[in-house]
Structure 1
Amino acid sequence: MKQTLKLILIGIAGGIVLAVFLKIIQQITANQAYCLLFETDYVPILQNWSDLIGMGMAFHFITCIASVVVLFYLLKGLHLERRCLPYVLVYTIGGAILFSLTALSENTPAITDVAAWGFWTLGHALFAITVGLLVKYW
């Protein structure tokens, strides 16, 4: 239980790093990659509730927390849970691929927006580094 609570807090910390980074990018460049973090148009059940205040934020953090918990326990089975590199590889590559979901919504950057893809992928790399280091040293 104590380990799971730590993983939840690590997911929240990583989610904050990712959101703050993309928000700063949005403020500096006007690039809208930040908007994809909170988009629920492509999730059949959640798209009906997307107008609820905080739904996108809850979606973002639940996704961050779930991904940290699941990946930790998958890596634990391989005895790799305390190494940073698996987190960096999975979250960075996974984030780069997940950007394709932008094609499913009109509220996000275009699938052809290379800058948005780059910022999105870099943000996920920062998320990964944050998670990997916290798992390793906390």
Structure 2
Amino acid sequence: MITFIKLIIIGFLSGLILAASGKVIRLITGNKAEILLYNMEYMPVFKRWSDKWITGIIFHYMTCIVSTVVLFCMLIPFGWEMHIWPYILVYTAGSAALYFLSLLTDKPPAFNSFSSWFYWTFSHAVFGFAVAVLIRFWV
């Protein structure tokens, strides 16, 4: 149970790091890739609440927490749950593919913006690194 609680905290803290990296990228470059962290309008069930700012934030942190717990559990059978590279690879590759959900929304960024895709993917690599390091040294 203690491990589960630690994973929830790690998911939340790493979500903060992900949001901060997206915000820093936006402040430095003006690129709006970070908007995708909070956008739910392409999801049929959640779309009805997508106009409320708080639901996007809740969606972001719940996704970070759930993905942290689930990936940790999925890595246990392989004995990789304490290794750094699986987290970086899974979150980087997964986000690189999920970026193209931007095809389903009118909000920025554009699905064909290489810089937005790169910043989005890079931010998630940072997220994966944060998750892995926190797990490695705290769990």
TM-score under structure 1 length normalisation: 0.97
Displacement after TM superposition at 1:28 (Å): 1.6
Relative distance call for 1:49 and 1:14 in structure 2 (3 A) is same
* Residue number in structure 1 paired with 2:11: 11
Measured against aligned partners, the alpha-carbon deviations of 1:60-118 in whole angstroms (never above 9, x if no partner) come to 00000000000000001211100011001100111111101111111121111000001
Letter of the aligned partner of 1:38 in structure 2? Y
* Residue number in structure 1 paired with 2:118: 118
Give me the whole-angstrom Cα distance separating, in 1, the residues matched to 2:34 and 2:51: 18
* Residue number in structure 2 paired with 1:28: 28
Note the 1:52-91 alignment, pairs <5 A.
52-91=52-91
1:98 counterpart SS class: helix
Displacement after TM superposition at 1:53 (Å): 3.6
Displacement after TM superposition at 1:134 (Å): 0.7
Give me the whole-angstrom Cα distance separating, in 2, the residues matched to 1:52 and 1:25: 24
Give me the whole-angstrom Cα distance separating, in 2, the residues matched to 1:107 and 1:2: 40
Give me the whole-angstrom Cα distance separating, in 2, the residues matched to 1:3 and 1:43: 31
2:82 counterpart SS class: coil
Give me the whole-angstrom Cα distance separating, in 1, the residues matched to 2:26 and 2:105: 18
Measured against aligned partners, the alpha-carbon deviations of 1:1-34 in whole angstroms (never above 9, x if no partner) come to 1111100011011111111011111112110001
Give me the whole-angstrom Cα distance separating, in 1, the residues matched to 2:53 and 2:123: 24
Give me the whole-angstrom Cα distance separating, in 2, the residues matched to 1:51 and 1:111: 21
* Residue number in structure 2 paired with 1:106: 106
Structure 1, unpaired ranges of 5+? none
Give me the whole-angstrom Cα distance separating, in 2, the residues matched to 1:66 and 1:77: 18
Q: Percent identity?
A: 41
Displacement after TM superposition at 1:125 (Å): 0.4
Give me the whole-angstrom Cα distance separating, in 2, the residues matched to 1:8 and 1:82: 16
Kindly report the root-mean-square deviation, in angstroms, between the aligned alpha carbons of the 2 structures: 0.8
* Residue number in structure 2 paired with 1:2: 2
Structure 2, unpaired ranges of 5+? none
1:59 counterpart SS class: helix
1:81 counterpart SS class: coil
Displacement after TM superposition at 1:132 (Å): 0.5
Letter of the aligned partner of 1:97 in structure 2? A
